[in-house]
A and B are shown apart, each in its own frame.
Chain A
Amino acid sequence: MSRFSELLLAGCLIAAAAGASADSSFPGVGRPATPSEVKAWDIDVRPDFKGLPPGKGSVDQGIELWEAKCTACHGSFGESNEVFTPLVGGTTKEDIETGRVGAYIRQDAPQRSTLMKVPTLSTLWDYINRAMPWNAPKSLSPDEVYAVLAYLLHLGEIVPADFTLSDKNIAEVQKRMPNRNGMTTKHGMWDIKGKPDVKNVACMKNCKTQITMGSSLPDYARDAHGNLADQNRVIGAVRGQQTSEGAGGGAAAPAPHPAMDLMKKSGCSGCHGIASKILGPSFRDIAKRYKDDKGAESQLIGRVKAGGSGTWGDAAMPPQAHVSDADTAALIKWILSGSPEN
C-alpha cells in the first residue's frame, strides 16, 4: 500500500471514529482512543489488582534478573544505601503477622526501608513495571516483574526461597506486607473540605514570657552550601555572607571545565561520578584503568555509542546515540585526561 493511501485510510478511520462521538461539545477536537492505544498506556495496577497482567516469576529467576539489572543501585540484597535508600531491612516476622512495623512504635529505626513503609504489594508491582530499571524504564516483561518482586519479597522474608509469585497468589501475599495496617487517611489534608489538626491563635502582645533558642545552624552546615555572598544580589539592603567554602573566591572562582557541562547535559552524570562509582564506574577509575592503553580513546568512543556491559560488572550501559560524535570524542578525551573539574 502506498504511503498516501495509508494516510488516507488512517484519516478515514479516525474521521469515522470521531463521527461516532456525538456528545462532544467541541466538534472536531479530540478523537476516541483505540483499544490498542488504551492497552499500550493503561498500565496502572491498583491495590485490588485491577490492571494486573497475568504471569508468574520465581525467587530463583528473580535472583538472576536482580544481579543483572538491580544490584548496581540497590545492592545484591536490596540493602544498599549508596544510590537510593534501602529497599529491605527493619522488618520482623512479628511485623508480617501484625501488619504494623514495630520499629516505628519502638522508635528504633535509624532509617526507613521501602518494605518498612509500603502497605500494598500492588504499589511495588506497578512501580517496577512502569519505572524500572532506572536507566531503561518499562523494559521488563510481566514475568520478569513478578520474578524481581518475588526475590525482593524473599529478601524481606515475606515469601520462602522456593516461592513463585503470580497473578493468582499476589493478593494472598499482599496480606503479609509488614506495614499493611500502618497507614491512615484519617487527617484533614486530602479531602477538599478537610480540617486542620494543628491550631495556633494570633496573639499580638506579650505573647510569651520566655524565648528559648531551640536550634541554630552549626558552622559546618552554614558553610556546606557554597559561598552565600555569591547567592545574593550585589545591590540592595543586604548582602550575602562570605562563608568559608568560597571565602575570597567570589567572582574569582575558576571557571568549570567545559566538559563538566557537556557531561551533565549528555546525561553521563546519572550513572557516573567523577570520583565515585554510581551505576557505572567513576571517570577517574576509567582513566586509571586505561592509563597506558593507546587504543583506549577510540575503543571507549565506540563503547559509548554502542553500549555494553561486563567490563565493570554486570550493569549494562545503554547506547548513547543522542550524543554527537564530536561531543563523545571530547568527553572521552576529558575522561582519559583525569576529568579535571576546572
Chain B
Amino acid sequence: MPQNTPRPGRIQRAPEGFLSPEQIRDVSAGRRDFLRTAFVSASMAVAGTSVARAADGDPAILTLPEHSTTLGRPVAERPYGAPSQFEAGLRRRESPGLTRVAGSSVSFSPLQGLFGIITPSGLHFERHHQGWHDIDPARHRLMINGLVKEARVYTMDDLMRLPSVSRIHFIECGANTGMEWGNVAVPTVQYSHGMLSCSEFTGVPLSVLLDDCGIDRKRAKFVLAEGADGSSMTRTISLDRALDDVLVAWGQNGEMLRPENGYPLRLVVPGVQGVSWVKWLRRIEVGDQPWATKDEAVHYIDLMPDGTHRQYTSIQECKSVITTPSGGQTLLDKGFHNITGLAWSGRGKVKRVDVSVDGGRNWRTARLETPVLSKALTRFNIDWVWDGSPAILQSRAMDETGYVQPTYAQLRAVRGTRSIYHNNAIQSWKLADSGDVSNVQVF
C-alpha cells in the first residue's frame, strides 16, 4: 500500500501525486501494468478515506510508528549535527549553463524552503572568483597600510581579542536576478533570487582598526579591500561607508565563517553588493582615489541604454520576493494559504510590504515579522484563501527612505534591459488552476 494516501478534495497531478516513489520508479522503468493497479488503489483510497477515517481513524495515529515503540539513537552520535534525511531537497545548486568554470561560479540558496530571516550557513549562496580554500587561521594575517600613521599587521589572535559586535545583515550578489533583465529565464526562486543570504556576523568595526593604525582623515577618501585567495579579489569602498557600519568579521551564525564564505576573515559591507564583502580578507589599503579594479572596471559595471557603463554601483536597492508559493511549486489544495516572502533594502529598514494576487491591480499590506533590522532580510506573511482560479502573485516592498520597489516597466524605462546587475523589479508568479506556479513577467 503506498504511503502517501491522498485526502479528498486535493489537487493531485497524475501520476506523481498519488504514486509512491517506488511506484513511480516502476512506471518509469516500463512496468506499465503496475500503473493500472495503482490507479485503482488510489481512487479507492480517495473514495474510501473519509469513510475509513470516520470508522476508526488515521493509521498514522492508530498504528504506532517504530519511533514510538523503539529506542532512539544516543547523544553525540553526530558531533556536528546535520539536517534530517527528509530535507535533502534543500541544497545550494548551480544554474546549468550559467558559467563554464566551477572555480569561478555561483551556487544559489534554496529560498523556496527557508523560514524566517537567517540563512543556515551550509545553505549560504557561494560566489568565488578563483575557487575557495580552507585557510589555516594560525597562518592568516590582516595588514592595514596606505594613508595611515603606521602600517600594521594583525593575527587572528589579535583581532579576536578586540571588542567585537554581532549584527544581522543580508548579502546579495549584484547580479542576483541578473538572468531575468531581458526576459524570464529560470524556473524557481532559488535561481531567480538565490544569490541572497542573511546571517548574524561577528567581528570588529573596520573603523576601530583604521583608528588603531592612525588613519589620515584629511587625505583618506577610499579604502581597498583585498582577499588572500588566488584572485586576490579587490574592491574599493568609500571612506564614509568604511567608517560607518563595515565590519571585519570572523563569526557567522554563532560559529566561525564557513570556508566558502571566507574563513577565517571577511569584510561585511552592509547594504552593498556581495562582491565588496571581500572573503579571506588579507589587506586594507587606505587611499585618496578609487582603484578601478577588475571587478570595478570589467565586471560589476551596469550597461545603460545610452551605451555608458555605470561604475561603482554598489547599493542593493529595496527589493522583495514571494518565496512560497513560488515558481516550480504546486499548491496542494484550494483554501487557506500563507503567502510568505522576504524583503530587504541596502538603504535601511523595510517599512512596508504589499502583496497582490491579481497581477498588480489591487494590493494588501502584509505582516512584517520581527525583527525588522536595517540592511537585513525581513520576513513578510499574509493570509490568503485561494478559490482555485488563476492568479498572479506579486510583492512590493518599501523602505524607510520611502523608496518603492519598481515594476519591470519602470526599471527598464531608466536602465534598459542589458544591465545584468541590480535588477530589483517586482517578481510575478503565475498560479494556474492546476495549482502549478510558474515564473512570468507582467507589464
Contacts and interface: CB of A to CB of B under 8 A. Distances in A.
A293 interface: no
B45 interface: no
Interface string A98-126: 00110011010000101001111011001
Interface string B326-365: 0111111000011000000000000010100011111100
Given A104-B303, A252-B21, A270-B131, A208 B360 contact: yes
Given A221-B186, A238-B325, A197 B143 contact: no
A217 B291 CA distance: 40
A57 to B, nearest CB: 20
Given A46-B291, A114-B298, A30 B153 contact: yes
Contacts of B186: 217, 221, 225
Contacts of A215: 183-184, 440-441
Given A199-B410, A232-B89, A26 B161 contact: yes
Contacts of B214: 23
B307 A105 contact: yes
Given A25-B211, A29-B158, A232 B329 contact: yes
Interface stretch (A62-70, A152-160, A183-191): A183-191
A239 interface: yes
B185 interface: yes
B325 A270 contact: no
A105 B406 CA distance: 26
B224 interface: yes
Contacts of B324: 236-238
B166 interface: no
A interface, size bucket:
35 or more
Interface stretch (B62-70, B230-238, B258-266): B230-238
B152 A119 contact: no
Contact of A211 (B13, B330, B359): B359
A216 B439 contact: yes
Contact of A123 (B86, B95, B294, B330): B294
Given A137-B230, A241-B328, A217 B238 contact: no
A228 B329 CA distance: 8
B329 A42 contact: no
A217 B191 contact: no
A117 B307 contact: no
A256 B282 CA distance: 37
A278 interface: yes
Contacts of B91: 231
B319 to A, nearest CB: 12
Contacts of A249: 28
B99 to A, nearest CB: 9
A118 to B, nearest CB: 5
A299 interface: no
A212 B131 CA distance: 43
B97 interface: yes
Contacts of A162: none
- Per DSSP, are chain A's interface residues mostly helix, strand or loop, or mixed? loop
- Which of A30, A200, A217, A236 is the most central at the interface, judged by chain B CB atoms within 10 Å of its CB? A30
A32 B150 contact: yes
A37 B362 CA distance: 62
Interface in A206-258: 206-208, 211-217, 221-222, 224-226, 228-243, 247-252
Contacts of B212: 24-26, 29-30
B331 A42 contact: no
Contacts of B360: 207-208, 211
Interface in B236-251: 238, 240-241, 244
B308 interface: yes
A41 B232 CA distance: 10
B interface, size bucket:
35 or more
B306 interface: yes
B309 A182 contact: yes
Interface string B373-393: 000000000000000000010
Contacts of B315: 188-190, 194
Interface in A31-58: 31-33, 37-38, 41-44, 46-48, 50
A29 B430 CA distance: 57
Contact of B330 (A82, A104, A241, A248): A241
A26 B162 contact: yes
A33 B441 contact: no
Contacts of A21: 150, 152
Given A202-B404, A270-B131, A137 B231 contact: yes
A232 B113 contact: yes
Contact of B25 (A221, A234, A252): A252
A115 to B, nearest CB: 10
A130 B324 CA distance: 43
A213 B440 contact: yes
A313 interface: no
B292 A228 contact: no
Given A38-B143, A192-B238, A224 B298 contact: no
Interface string A133-150: 010011000000000000
B405 interface: yes
A289 interface: no
B188 interface: yes
Given A237-B332, A251-B21, A214 B414 contact: no
B438 A198 contact: no
Contact of B392 (A123, A190, A211): A211
A231 B297 contact: no
A130 B154 CA distance: 22
A83 interface: yes
Nearest to A197: B414
A237 B113 CA distance: 11
- Which of B13, B143, B413 is the most central at the interface, judged by chain A CB atoms within 10 Å of its CB? B143
A148 to B, nearest CB: 15
A229 B16 contact: yes
A199 B406 contact: yes
Interface stretch (B36-44, B73-81, B100-108): B100-108
Given A44-B291, A189-B310, A202-B352, A238 B363 contact: no
**3 tightest Cβ-Cβ pairs between the two chains A and B:** A248-B28, A104-B307, A228-B328
12 contacts: A23-B150, A33-B143, A42-B285, A46-B287, A46-B289, A100-B307, A112-B303, A189-B315, A192-B240, A198-B413, A215-B440, A269-B102
